[in-house]
Amino acid sequence: MPTVAAFAAPSSSDPLLRTTIERRETGPHDVLIAIRYAGICHSDIHLVRGDWGPVTYPQVVGHEIAGEVVEVGSEVTDFAVGDRVGVGCMVNSCRECENCLAGMENYCLKGNTQTYGSIDRDGTVTQGGYSTHVVVDKDFVLRIPEGIPYESVAPLLCAGITTYSPLAHWKVGPGSKVAVVGMGGLGHLAVKIAAAMGAEVTVLSQSLSKQEDGKRFGATHYFATSDESTFDTLANTFDLIVNTVSAPLKLDSYLRLLRLDGTMVNVGAPPEPLPLRVFTLFGNRRSFAGSSIGSIAETQEMLDFCAEHGIVPETELIGVDEVNDAYERVLRSDVRYRFVIDIETLRD
Ligand SMILES: [Zn+2]
Ligand SMILES: [Zn+2]
């Protein structure tokens, strides 16, 4: 088994450190990828710290992966050595349940195999993208289109698809009024994508501190949710509210901002149950929904859409030895808007 360099969490409380891990041999359906860039997602931090359940350490995280093909299995014809490719949040699924057969393996009824922290087909624990190489089944590898800068593309593989999928599903386009709650890693991409789809975009952020950025990304309006009058001003306005915030919100206040047949979709995930008055849903026949990443086909569609519309994530490039500090900054929301690790620094 090939041994490769990685930056791993040794426990739930110790800093991540340089180490090596084993990758499987490149099988007939596999692609071996030399990783160039890996984004830092808030989920990475939750997982390594054990917030989402028991973890087998050492654990390598990272599910926003950009790199190039260095080897393909004997039955792989759609990728070739040198291709620029990406890997997102999942690396396999059961392929036989109703949802997989419908091409929505992100909703696999047996649970898709996550890029890190999942039990793989061979019984090992999957290890993510803070590493020099990864072996992935070709059906879960994305093609990175020309035109998206290599060093900035990685965040599209989680944050990008997570926001693109609900915008596409609820058919956002010219004439749509979309609100994006939260202007972080997910939110800033939601704004860019919704604006590129032709929607009129409003950002609902705690303060106005990122207002200039929001408008530069394509938002027409920007409101502070700390100001109670925002909720009166915007009542009955939106077709779709994309909530990217993981902290608990006063749901009824936000739901009242939806117009007839409007939907509030959550992509941020507060761990605790939230109270909701069903009467708020009666008014305007409102819906409250959730959405989880996107299928592989839809992820490719999103990458192509971003290339066509010049959508590039706002990133801060760091070396691998800065990852622990970057985690602290992510937890303080002190990043505009996504950290990307230059994996070259792991090869030193
Ligand atoms: Zn993520
Ligand atoms: Zn399935």
Q: Which domains, from first to last, does the chain contain?
A: 3-158+312-346 (3.90.180.10), 159-290 (3.40.50.720)
What pLDDT does 97 receive?
A: 98
| Ligand 2 mean position, distance from CA 124 (Å) | 19
User: pLDDT tens for residues 69-82?
Assistant: 999 999 999 999 99
Q: For residue 330, give the ligand nearest its CA.
A: 1
Cα angle 264, 268, 269; round to 5: 105
| Ligand 2 mean position, distance from CA 165 (Å) | 19
Residue 52's pLDDT band, with cuts at 50, 70 and 90, is confident
Q: For residue 112, give the ligand nearest its CA.
A: 2
| Ligand 1 mean position, distance from CA 45 (Å) | 10
Alpha helix ranges (H) inside the chain? 42-48, 98-101, 159-169, 185-196, 211-216, 229-233, 251-255, 278-282, 296-309, 323-331
| Ligand 1 mean position, distance from CA 39 (Å) | 9
| Ligand 2 mean position, distance from CA 94 (Å) | 4
Residue 157's pLDDT band, with cuts at 50, 70 and 90, is very high
| Ligand 1 mean position, distance from CA 340 (Å) | 12
Q: What is the mean pLDDT of residues 45-55?
A: 93
Between CA 41 and CA 53 the distance in angstroms is: 17
Q: Mean pLDDT for the chain?
A: 96
What pLDDT does 189 receive?
A: 98
| Ligand 2 mean position, distance from CA 119 (Å) | 15
Q: 72 - beta bridge partners?
A: 31
**Are the C-beta atoms of residues 283 and 261 closer than 8 Å to each other?**
no
SS3 181: strand
| Ligand 1 mean position, distance from CA 62 (Å) | 8
DSSP string, 33-56: EEEEEEE--HHHHHHHTTTTS---
pLDDT beyond 90 at 348: no
Q: What is the mean pLDDT of residues 11-36?
A: 97
User: pLDDT tens for residues 272-319?
Assistant: 899 999 999 999 999 999 999 999 999 999 999 999 999 999 999 999
Q: What is the mean pLDDT of residues 131-139?
A: 98
User: pLDDT tens for residues 82-92?
Assistant: 999 999 999 99
Between CA 157 and CA 234 the distance in angstroms is: 32
The pTM (predicted TM-score) of the whole model is 0.97
